[in-house]
Amino acid sequence: MQRTQSRMPARLARANPTTVFLVTLVLVLVAFFTPGVVGGLLTLLLAAAVAALLVTTWSVQTVPTRVIRLVALTLLVTAGLVKVL
């Protein structure tokens, strides 16, 4: 890895997929089942993390994968905004 490259993709590649899935599942369930504004803010925080991941991995994803991820991000932001409002 060159000095100008970010270390984030390398760290993401080493992450255990099962652990990442389970942690994300717990975060989504907590955000969805927490009532009111707090649940909405947690959902929007999760959407921000997904957006950061999307930006980080954008260049290595295929077009269909990008579309699916953008749709998922849109649904997550929509759910967060509905909970906040």
Going by C-alpha positions, the residue among 84, 82, 63, 80 that lies closest to residue 27 is: 80
Nearest to 82 by CA among 27, 44, 30: 44
Say what the pTM is.
Answer: 0.75
pLDDT in tens, 6-38: 676 677 778 888 988 898 889 889 988 988 899
Residue-wise pLDDT for 29-71, tens only, equals 998 898 889 999 999 999 998 898 888 888 888 999 999 999 9
Residue with tokens 């009111």: 36
